[in-house]
């Protein structure tokens, strides 16, 4: 069962309150226009509900595809992008039978693989799906010890957040609590969901690995990718830009 198995339908409603998908997609398009101006086909790894893919397709003319471990999120992504191919797959071990001008892994999705060995395995898969001249773009999670992977504020164990959102059909309140271990961040999510038919309580626990920049650079190298690291990136968490080594 995926970590989003119960909350997938609430995902866009919650993140529409604070996540700038339009701005991030525009930044990705500008980056690709600079480093690979001929790029047209994109693979969005850890695609979620396909919102980045939708904007990159509608506003910038890219041809996206996507994978995610959650069948619920994949179904939503496919609904938004009916002419694109979205499917359930594990980023550490997948083969789609085609190559792409760019492989994207945004919104810190790489953290869900939890271990450095899995980071390396994922990057090998990314490299295998690159067309000649293609680029890999990865937005990381945070470093161990509470430090940011690149410039975003440090993680603090015990930190809590609260987000509320509503539509015509549903009102939701999401509380979260972060617990840090040496190499792992655990986020406990509690949802209170109110609909006309009743009130429901949902709970999820998300675990993301904590990797240093140096360790991550080593994983790119081991996967046969020449990489550059940018300290700020799309959201302050940094960004890795890589190409296959010849």
Could you report the per-residue pLDDT of 26-43, keeping only the tens digit for each?
999 999 999 999 999 999
Structure tokens of 45?
């790894």
- Segments of the chain with pLDDT less than 50: 148-152
* pTM value surpassing 0.85: yes
Domains and CATH numbers, the chain: 8-144+210-244 (3.40.50.150), 160-208 (2.20.130.10)
pLDDT at 3: 72
Pairing, β 171-180 against β 184-195:
antiparallel
Residue 156, both tokens: 């603090």
| Per-residue confidence (pLDDT) for residue 153, from 0 to 100 | 56
CA angle 49, 51, 53 (to 5 degrees): 105
Check residue 101 and give its pLDDT. 98
DSSP state of 93: B
- In the prediction, which pLDDT does 151 show? 43
Tokens of 24: 């991030």
CA-closest candidate to residue 60, choices 123, 104, 98? 104
**Gyration radius of the chain over CA positions:** 18
Burial class (CB in 10 A: 0-12, 13-18, 19+), 169: exposed
């Amino acid at each position: 069962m995926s970590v989003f198995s119960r909350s997938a339908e609430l995902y866009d409603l919650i993140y529409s309150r604070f996540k700038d998908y339009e701005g991030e997609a525009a930044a990705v398009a500008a980056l690709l226009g600079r480093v690979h101006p001929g790029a047209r086909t994109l693979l969005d790894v850890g695609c979620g509900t396909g919102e980045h893919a939708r904007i990159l397709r509608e506003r910038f003319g890219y041809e996206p595809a996507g994978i995610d471990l959650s069948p619920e999120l994949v179904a939503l992504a496919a609904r938004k992008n009916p002419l694109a191919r979205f499917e359930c797959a594990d980023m550490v071990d997948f083969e789609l039978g085609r190559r792409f001008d760019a492989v994207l892994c945004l919104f810190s999705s790489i953290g869900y693989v939890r271990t450095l060995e899995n980071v390396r395995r994922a990057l090998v898969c990314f490299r295998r799906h690159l067309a000649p001249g293609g680029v890999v773009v990865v937005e990381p999670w945070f470093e161990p010890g509470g430090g940011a992977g690149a410039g975003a504020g440090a993680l603090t164990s015990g930190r809590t957040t609260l987000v509320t959102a509503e539509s015509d059909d549903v009102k939701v309140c999401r509380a979260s609590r972060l617990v840090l271990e040496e190499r792992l961040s655990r986020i406990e999510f509690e949802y209170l969901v109110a609909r006309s038919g009743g009130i429901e309580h949902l709970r999820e626990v998300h675990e993301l690995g904590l990797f240093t920049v140096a360790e991550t650079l080593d994983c790119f190298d081991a996967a046969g990718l020449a990489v550059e690291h940018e300290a700020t990136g799309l959201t302050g968490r940094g960004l890795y830009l890589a190409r296959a080594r010849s």
